[in-house]
Amino acid sequence: MSGFEVELDRDFVDRIVREVKPHWGPLGWITYKRTYARFLEDEKRTETWPETVKRVVEGNVNLDPRLEEGDEKAKEEMEEEAKDLFRLVYSLSATPSGRNLWVSGTRYQRLHGDSLNNCWFISMRPQPYGDSKILPPYLDPSLPAVSMPFAFTFDELMKGGGVGFSVTRGNISQIPAVERETDLKVFIDPSNGSYEEARSAGAEDLSGREEREGEELLRVPDSREGWVMALAYLIDSHFSYGPSRALSIDVSELRARGERIKGFGGTASGAGPLVEMLLDVNAILNAAAGRRLTSVDATDIGNLIGKAVVAGNVRRSAELALGDWDDEAFRKMKQDSEKLMHHRWASNNSVVTDGKREQFEEVAREVVVNGEPGVVDLGLSRNFGRLEDGFNPEADPLAMGTNPCGEITLEDGEPCNLFEIFPAIAEENGWDLGEVARLAVRYAKRVTFGSYDWEISRKAIGRNRRIGVSLSGIQDWFLSRFGSRAVEGWDGQEPVYSQKIAAALTGLYEAVRAADEEYSRELGCGPSRKLTTVKPSGTVAKLAGASEGMHFQWARRFIQRIRFQDSDPLVQVLKDCGYKVEPDIYNKHTMCVEFPVKPYGADLDTFASAGDVSASEQLATQAFLQRFWSDNAVSCTVTFRKDEAEKLPQILSAFAGKIKSTSLLEYVDGGYAQMPKETIGEEEYEKMVEAITADPEAAFGDASEEAQMEIVGQSDCAGGACPVR
């Protein structure tokens, strides 16, 4: 029997568009248009919101494996579910992750299921490639290779994901001593459009190439896989099992900077970034010849990979380097200002602790000086789901690290798999949160049935079916539904939590678990190892105008500044509509646009802003959500005021054993020009609003566009750790 494919009826879509108004935030439609609306080559325009939602929903429901088997009942079920999902997402009551908004329903997604996942994790130790779509020809796929985790990182970053990687002693100690130096030469043909840039990065003219004794030549094909293979060849050439130590890499086939990438989307960065990365990585490995790589060496290689991916602001990437809490060299590596500017900016760095107060105190002292590291309690993640459910050694025993934002603990090769609910908006739109949770679970569960490129990922996903149903706009919901914050007061040093909110979260968690058990039975697969999370959010939250994850809104009134490429046609539209537009003082060819924002509940007496709430209350709220909602983890960038810095070690250590991961950052409002967010008063806010004379969506219309533009410097997470898409 042939399989089925579900497609939403055009009349249904048109009816919902007439009847339902999307809950756009002040920056919602603009953020959508510049981040998730795909370019339609045939029509020379980007998608509309209904077109995007239709593509995304159809791409997801058709992942249900029963459809491929020709199951009539499943087809009917998915047809109805597609309608429910369309209504839900179109109204912005809930949304899939930014990755899904960008790629679900595309040909690229069908070929590379990896592309639906925001972030990944890998341990930096030799691992086998196995039955993966990328396999260097000189390797036995069953044997561990030093290049594998670095190749995995490069591959997933180039698909637009973020990667957390572990350089703890337990991993780095497994990498053998670097056996030999490699004599690397990189060549490019003068006819290549990136010739001059590649030569500046260190490439040599191909026409002058002379064969060397014992030389191995790799001609890099113009593909993502080609870039990854070049890195693998280089790393393994330093070991006897790998290619010749006389290695030549020809990058002449790579397309020039600015040419369109038709698969994933976006534009090419040219050969220059690859050339620079290969030469820099080779220098690190040559310097390590005769000894083992250190945690700093491995992190530097990971950072150089990340730098190559983001070069030219063409692709997004995010990295988290995870080291040992007592590895002083790792903790202090960003204090080298020259290397920080060159490549060490490419990762956020966190340390693994075992939940001891003195370790949290040491981390906090470092944060006050350097702003890093974050902290990850891996033991708590392995042995607990929701903390309320108690100790369980089978909760997540193989977890090795986290994604870059820290809300999902992951096994090697495993991805995040997120769906975001805006509970205040959903209830305002008449949705029952239990039904929203059911749809969220089923959407995320289907993502685990995509086609994944790496064997290590397929095994971990099949074993765990891990999902992350996230709540966002949490502070908005607490205000609208309960009229209070999670922390109602303090009993000495202990927070007093709202029992009403705790009960509501527990009820919603139980609805998530029941939905997973039901759908797992239907699909004939195991239940998801973990189900819930709180992602930090950012870009997706801006669509709906919700507060970001568990974070408090910035202020009662504030300016949100968004940066656009100066060639973006939307810049002139915004200027014509009355928004303040000026050149970005930090980046060339970039414009800075100011948007006035009045957040949800800003006029309520119970409203609290990020500048009002203490670091202790933020950590207590994170611990509350870890206890009653999230069985994965809760991501939060806790802001602390200058007057809290001295007591930060005591503040953070009070929550040892109660939070799985966190990061801290000093709260700064004002102080430098063109800050992303800046508090303003009521009078200035009203003045800015009055200056806006037209709706950008109406003014923009269906104008043709010659290129897919992007919002510059945006991230999918409030803390800046995760990619836009």
Cβ–Cβ < 8 Å for 412, 400: yes
CA distance 373 to 352: 10
Give the DSSP letter string of 251-276: -TTSPPTT-B-SSS-SB---SHHHHH
- Six-digit token string for 341: 């500017």
Give which of 297, 304, 313, 294 is closest to 343, Cα–Cα: 304
213 an active-site residue?
no
187, containing H or E segment:
strand 183-188
Phi then psi dihedrals of residue 346, to 5 deg: -75, -10
Longest dimension (CA), the chain: 78
> Contact 185/205 with Cβ under 8 angstroms?
no
Q: Are 595 and 34 a contacting pair, CB within 8 Å?
A: no
Catalytic (active site) residue 636: no
Instruction: For residue 349, give the nearest of 390, 311, 381, 302 by alpha carbon.
Output: 302
CA distance linking residue 1 with residue 70, whole number of Å = 6
DSSP of 372-413: --EEEEHHHHHH-SSGGG---TTSSTT--EE-TTSSSEE-TT
Q: Who's near 573: CB < 8 A, 6+ residues apart?
A: 696, 699, 700
Catalytic, out of 77, 197, 319, 407: 407
**Contact (CB, 8 A) for 453 and 155:** yes
* CA-wise closest residue to 640 among 371, 405, 334, 348: 371
Contacting residues for 15 by C-beta, under 8 A, at least 6 apart: none
What is the DSSP code (8-state) at residue 480?
A: I
CB 114 within 8 A of CB 457: yes
Backbone angles phi, psi at 2, to 5 degrees: -75, 155
Strands of 216-219's sheet in order across: 204-205, 183-188, 246-250, 216-219
State the Cα–Cα distance between residues 153 and 464, nearest whole angstrom: 21
d(CA 95, CA 429): 14
C-beta of residue 117 within 8 angstroms of C-beta of residue 99: yes
Token pair of 540 as six digits: 């997706």
Cβ-proximal residues to 138 (8 Å cutoff; 6+ apart), any chain = 236, 241, 242, 243
Which residue of the set 156, 366, 372, 405 is catalytic?
405
What positions carry a catalytic annotation? 405, 407
